[in-house]
A = this chain, B = another copy of it.
Amino acid sequence: MIFLKTTPFLAAKDPGPSTRVALFGCPYDGTSSYRPGARFGPSAIREASQVLESYDPRTGSDLEGRDFCDLGDVEISPGDKADALSRIREAARKVLDMRQIPAALGGEHLITLPLVEAVLENYPDLVLLQFDAHLDLRNKYLGDALCHATVMRRVCDIMNPTRILRVGARSGILEEYEFARRYGTLNMTTDGSGLRDWIRDRPLYITVDMDVLDPAFCPGTGTPEPGGLTYCELETRLSQLQGVRVVGWDVVELAPHWDPSNISSIVAAKIVRTLLAITTVC
């Protein structure tokens, strides 16, 4: 079987014909360069989801009864990167084949690459919104062309870089900034204006690297970068996506063991709740 059984995310239904969003964990962190542990992200998010209510007073929506399921975790071999990425790609394809939206719980940011590969096969005109402290646009990092620090560059190999927009980026090397500026899509303006204009009615993939938040709000991540968004700022941005045609998403780089207070896991679970609210119907 391709998925390992786990405690399900809050209010998840059993998979069925009406399932619209399929959650699955991708516990891979093999290329983490600083603080590993994102492999424990999926189980931490699921456990933390128990502390949340299914009802969201901001939007009036309730997860209870929504059409999403939790498939469990993709089985990963931590030391075999190519195999891990291949399995994640297969998992996403399987979900897409059933006309469901793949929604992945990372794991490190590299998992976004196979996910986007699979989604692109179905939505060639895909646009991508990256919430992230880092550009992840290096061509190579410590001699490695395929890792968490190069993942968005690899995504740019398979889709037009002008179709990627960023929120919260504040770290990278000169080469990355030059690359991003060349394609005119460095960072979304702070007030979010024009976001829907930019997306238009194109299918959207959302990747949320938890380090887009300031470390005060999410200390449990692999490469904390001071100076980020508050939780409220991030939630506001995500809420602005209500009504957009989202066809896939992931929440990555939660490394729960670096935060013994566990608030990072709860924050990640609440972001997942918000993304589920946006991408499901009741």
Q: Which A residues are within 8 Å of any B CB, using their own CB?
A: 5-8, 29-37, 39, 43, 47, 50-55, 57-58, 62, 75-81, 83, 110, 141-144, 146-148, 169-174, 177, 214-217, 219-220, 223-227, 230-232, 235, 257-263, 266-267, 270
A261 touching B173 in the complex, CB below 8 Å, given contacts A47-B43, A267-B215: no
Report which of B6, B32, B77, B174 forms a contact with A36, defined as CB distance below 8 A: B32
User: A270 — nearest CB in chain B belongs to which residue?
Assistant: B226
- A4 CB to nearest B CB, Å: 8
**Residues in chain B near residue A144, CB distance under 8 A:** 77-80, 83
Report which of B34, B50, B148 forms a contact with A51, defined as CB distance below 8 A: B34
**Residues in chain B near residue A79, CB distance under 8 A:** 30-31, 33, 81, 110, 141-142, 144, 146-148
**Residues in chain B near residue A224, CB distance under 8 A:** 51, 261-263, 266
Q: How far is the CA of A224 from the CA of B8 in the complex (A)?
A: 21
**Residues in chain B near residue A270, CB distance under 8 A:** 226-227
- A31 CB to nearest B CB, Å: 3
**Residues in chain B near residue A62, CB distance under 8 A:** 174
Contacting pair A227 B216 (CB below 8 A):
no
Report which of B5, B147, B259 forms a contact with A8, defined as CB distance below 8 A: B5
Q: How far is the CA of A79 from the CA of B28 in the complex (A)?
A: 12
A214 touching B231 in the complex, CB below 8 Å, given contacts A57-B172, A261-B260: yes
Contacting pair A142 B78 (CB below 8 A):
yes
Q: How far is the CA of A31 from the CA of B39 in the complex (A)?
A: 12
Q: How far is the CA of A238 from the CA of B136 in the complex (A)?
A: 27
A258 touching B262 in the complex, CB below 8 Å, given contacts A37-B37, A62-B174: yes
